[in-house]
């Protein structure tokens, strides 16, 4: 139907476009380490601390690459191995064949769950490590407080401007939280409507994703309710992104003033590193939960649908729907696998290329060289799209 809409929700299953949430945090991490290096690298002890944390994160990204590659491989195996067998089992009434492959698929997925769980713990530990590093910088600041020189008019103006931006950002964050609550409420209501209206068992919807077109009036009305909320969320995300970029610009100018006065600049960019690492951790938690639901669903399929003679009885009224769901699933999992592959490539590039700035001694940089690197970082930050951070996406 022309007025039907397609919806992808990441609240119950992981959206195939989850990479759009992952990308900004991954790219920003190295850029904020680089900014920290430019601001604090002129102090030898702080340089060593930042270098150590950046190298640990670089290694962590390398391990993340391997996990995402495993996810991509399993997605491909589901499409090329499991789904054809399920179709054959239904068409030929061979439940034992389906059970064998469902067990094999569960083994693949349990391996992924374990690997992702390990990554979640490692990101949590690295976030704590960067937080400790940030605290150490503040401690170093406190120890040098008595040596501070004149607080210039320029520095006071920069601090006042940053305080104003902080108020704007706080309001933006509160507005986003309010919209997010509305989106989550409407999304849950939409999920309930979809499951209620589905002809097949709800576990099929969990395995194959809410990626199908619906013409139910209540569902279309709920989708229409979600659309403006998502657009408003995108607008607020962009607004917040613009405020943060202005903050970074002023923070760098203030850091230059600090350095010229012999002061240690504030480690604000290390705080941003913490935020980025925690964002990646949260997405990995979503990824783990997603695979756990798929594992549960495969077990349900095995126990309830492919249990011997119950196959024909259970599928008598939903055989066509079941086969159509599997066909829909192929496209979903191909897209999801492509997203995992892209995420793997991003982690690969980041772990290989984004930390080359560590090869330079920051104390040897002239002010012109420092400004040139800063300009390059800002250009990269401005190119990052913040709109991928929204938790729901609706397309016409």
Q: Where are the domains of the chain?
A: 6-139+150-391
Cβ atoms of residues 325 and 204 within 8 Å: yes
Exposure string of 311-336, with b = 16+ CB inside 10 Å and e = fewer, is beebbeebeeebebbbebbeebbbbb
Q: How far, in Å, CA of 298 to CA of 126, rounded?
A: 34
CATH classification code of 6-139+150-391: 1.20.1170
Q: How far, in Å, CA of 380 to CA of 33, rounded?
A: 14
Q: How far, in Å, CA of 225 to CA of 178, rounded?
A: 15
Exposure string of 236-257, with b = 16+ CB inside 10 Å and e = fewer, is bbebbbebbebbbebbbbbbbb
CA 226 to chain centre: 21
Cβ atoms of residues 106 and 299 within 8 Å: yes
Query: Could you tell me the CA-to-CA distances from 29 to 53, 114, 214, 217, 289 in Å, in that order?
Result: 11, 25, 40, 44, 24
Cβ atoms of residues 276 and 130 within 8 Å: no
- Give the 3-state secondary structure of residue 123: helix
In tens digits, the chain (396 residues) has pLDDT values of 333 333 333 333 456 567 777 888 999 999 999 999 998 888 888 999 999 999 999 999 999 999 999 999 999 998 898 888 888 887 887 778 888 888 888 899 999 999 999 999 999 999 999 999 999 999 888 776 555 555 678 888 999 999 999 999 999 999 999 998 998 888 888 877 776 665 444 444 444 444 455 556 777 888 888 889 988 988 998 898 889 889 988 988 888 888 877 788 889 999 999 999 999 999 999 899 889 888 887 887 777 666 555 555 555 566 776 777 777 778 888 888 888 998 899 899 888 889 999 988 888 888 888 889 999 998 888 888 665 444 433 333
Q: How far, in Å, CA of 46 to CA of 37, rounded?
A: 9
Query: Could you tell me the CA-to-CA distances from 172 to 165, 232, 328, 357 in Å, in that order?
Result: 10, 12, 38, 33
Dihedrals phi, psi of 10, to nearest 5 degrees: -100, 5
pLDDT at 28: 92
């Amino acid at each position: 139907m022309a007025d039907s809409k397609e919806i992808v929700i990441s609240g119950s299953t992981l959206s195939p476009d989850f990479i759009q949430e992952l990308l900004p945090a991954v790219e920003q991490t190295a850029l904020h380490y680089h900014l920290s290096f430019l601001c604090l690298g002129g102090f030898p002890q702080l340089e060593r601390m930042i270098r150590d944390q950046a190298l640990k994160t670089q290694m962590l990204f390398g391990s993340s690459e391997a996990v995402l590659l495993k996810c991509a491989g399993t997605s491909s195996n589901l499409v090329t191995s499991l789904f054809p067998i399920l179709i054959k089992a239904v068409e030929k009434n061979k439940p034992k064949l389906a059970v064998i492959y469902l067990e094999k698929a569960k083994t693949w997925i349990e391996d992924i769950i374990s690997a992702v769980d390990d990554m979640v713990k490692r990101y949590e530990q690295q976030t704590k490590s960067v937080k400790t590093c940030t605290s150490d910088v503040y401690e170093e600041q406190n120890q040098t407080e008595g040596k501070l020189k004149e607080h210039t008019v320029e520095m006071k103006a920069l601090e006042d401007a940053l305080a104003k931006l902080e108020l704007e950002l706080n309001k933006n964050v509160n507005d986003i939280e309010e919209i997010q609550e509305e989106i989550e409420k409407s999304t849950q209501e939409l999920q309930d409507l979809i499951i209620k209206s589905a002809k097949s068992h709800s576990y099929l919807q969990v395995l194959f994703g809410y990626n199908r077109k619906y013409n139910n009036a209540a569902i279309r009305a709920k989708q229409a309710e979600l659309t403006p909320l998502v657009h408003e969320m995108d607008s607020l995300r962009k607004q917040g992104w613009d405020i943060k970029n202005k903050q970074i610009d002023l923070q760098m100018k203030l850091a230059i003033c600090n350095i010229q006065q012999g002061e240690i600049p504030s480690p604000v960019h290390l705080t941003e590193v913490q935020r980025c690492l925690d964002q990646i951790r949260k997405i990995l938690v979503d990824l783990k939960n997603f695979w756990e639901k798929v594992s549960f669903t495969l077990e349900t399929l095995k126990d309830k649908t492919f249990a011997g003679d119950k196959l024909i009885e259970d599928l008598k009224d939903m055989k066509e729907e079941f086969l159509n769901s599997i066909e829909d699933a192929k496209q979903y999992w191909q897209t999801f696998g492509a997203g995992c592959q892209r995420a793997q490539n991003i982690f690969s590039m980041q772990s290989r290329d984004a930390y080359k700035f560590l090869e330079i001694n920051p104390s040897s940089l002239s002010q012109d060289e420092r400004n040139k690197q800063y300009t390059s970082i800002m250009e990269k930050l401005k190119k990052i799209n913040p709109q991928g951070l929204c938790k729901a996406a609706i397309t016409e």
